[in-house]
Amino acid sequence: MRAEIISVGTELLLGQIVDTNAAYLGQQLAELGIDVFFKQTVGDNPARVRGAVRLALSRADVVLITGGLGPTEDDLTVASVAEELNLPLEPHAEIAERIRQFFEVRGRVPTETVYKQALIPTGARAIPNSRGTAPGVHIDQDGRELFIMPGVPFEMYGMMESYVIPRLRERTGGVVIRSRVLRVTGEGESTVEARIKNLIGGTSPTIAPYAKLGEVHLRVTAKGTPSDVAAQLDAGEAGLRERLGEMIYGTNEESLELVVGRLLGERAATLAVAESCTGGLVAKRLTDIPGSSAYFLEGVVAYSNEAKRDQLGVPATSIEQHGAVSAEVAEAMARGIRDRAGSTYGLSVTGVAGPTGGTTAKPVGLVFLGLATAERTEHRRVNFGTEAGRSGIRWLAAQAALNLLRLHIQRS
């Protein structure tokens, strides 16, 4: 079985946005074991969209099309495909009703053009859109299938997961390609790679490292029957865990904040956070997790020295003697927020995120982390350098703070 991807959007040709949808679709098709030989990108132009569809249908069994499904005049993908396939458009009552409700809930009045999204080619099925107003369209032409989805990634992912992937899986039967990702933090790519050197380069499973900001993802990939694949992935994971141990913090889509939250929940422990240079990022990441209110009590963003003193009880003398970016202040912040919130743990971050404000003694990228427990308060000093820039340094500091807490809980 062969698939082809068509991305529709003049903004893609102009380079105004990068086509991450195509990469996502390529990954999903690869995991399904479906070959992709071509990908086309066309602008919002009916004749050229039609031409791209014609070409794709001449050489592929499955065509995935994204983009151009919205309510505006530019959005002409469905109409162009319908014309190419000689399928008149028909209003879809259920979709129209959903759109009406979407606006009603928000207390907004839909414009006329919005209902254009409820027009579906005759004989096609509407793919439900749980995340927006434009439905997708599924056309089966004597075994050749077209799936038309919105260009908004979040909406498209939803349709792929709930509709397109299950449908394609039915068609492929048998052999699958599956991956499992083990997520490592606290060490750089070269260190991780050196530890697992002889595991890289196998054939099934294959193991490949991918460096991300503040972490390394190790992708284990296997091909075969589902049970065979499961055994291969387990063996690959076991080999990596043997060599990397607690450096591995999670698998697949598990974020560090999710893992920290789970550890806190399992121990019925609570957390409060005091942040300076990360400016709320640690609290934001922790509260990204649904249900985090069970263990996350509160956060303080103490950006100024006054806030550190008044809100966290950091002694003015500590700030004067050691500076706001220091081990002493990091520890005082962690103790202060723990006392204030009455939480099991107090976690703090203070550092120089840049781009300015660095000195020889306290350069941009220098960060102190503090962790207070009932027994003691500790700190960690890390220098992330300047290469990652302000937002990168903030991310790395948040990552290191969460990892400090993770390792503490796991070891205790």
Q: Scanning residues 318 to 377, which ones bind its own copies (CB under 8 A)?
A: 340-341, 354-356
Give the residue, chosen from 141, 162, 191, 204, that forms a contact with its own copies under the rule CB under 8 A.
191
Site membership for its own copies, residue 203 (CB under 8 A): no
- Nearer Cβ to its own copies (81/87): 81
- For the record, the structure tokens of 376 come out as 């003691």
Which of 19, 83, 215, 237: binder of its own copies (CB under 8 A)?
Answer: 19
Q: What are the structure tokens assigned to 294, written together?
A: 């069970």
By CB under 8 A, tell whether 243 contacts its own copies. no
Q: Are strands 366-372 and 345-351 parallel, antiparallel or unpaired?
A: antiparallel
According to CB under 8 A, which one of 105, 238, 361, 374 is a site residue for its own copies?
Answer: 105
For its own copies, which stretch binds (CB under 8 A), given 33-41, 246-254, 367-375, 399-407?
Answer: 33-41
- Structure tokens of 87? 């399928």
d(CA 100, CA 320): 61
Binding mask 245-284 for its own copies (x = CB under 8 A): ----------------------------x-x--xxxxxxx
- 71 contacts its own copies (rule: CB under 8 A): yes
Residue with tokens 């005759």: 122
Pick 88 or 342: Cβ nearer its own copies: 342
Residues 296-315 that bind its own copies (CB under 8 A): 296-304, 306-307, 311
Burial class of 24 by CB neighbour count within 10 A (0 to 12, 13 to 18, 19+): middle
Q: Which amino acid would we find at residue 138? A: H
Rounded to an integer, what distance in angstroms lies between the CA atom of residue 309 and that of residue 326? 14
Contacts of 165 (CB under 8 A, 6+ apart): 28, 32
Contacting residue, 61, 90, 189, 339, with its own copies by CB under 8 A: 189
44 close to 10: Cβ distance less than 8 angstroms: yes
Nearer to its own copies, 242 or 306 (CB): 306
Distance CA 28, CA 112 (A): 36
Structure tokens at 148: 């038309």
Query: How far apart are CB 123 and its own copies at their closest, in Å?
Result: 28
Q: Are 135 and 95 in contact (CB under 8 A)?
A: yes
Cα–Cα distances in angstroms (integers) from residue 375 to residues 195, 315, 371, in the given order: 34, 21, 11
Residue 206: exposure state from Cβ atoms within 10 A (0-12, 13-18, ≥19): middle
Instruction: Select the residue interacting with its own copies from 86, 268, 291, 412 (CB under 8 A).
Output: 291
**375 to 394, contacts with its own copies by CB under 8 A?**
383-385, 387-392, 394
Q: Of 138-146, 160-168, 190-198, 236-244, which segment contacts its own copies by CB under 8 A?
A: 190-198
Region of 29-37, 60-68, 236-244, 401-409 interacting with its own copies (CB under 8 A): 29-37
| Footprint on residues 136-155 left by its own copies (CB under 8 A) | 152, 154
* Nearest-approach distance from CB 135 to its own copies, in angstroms: 13
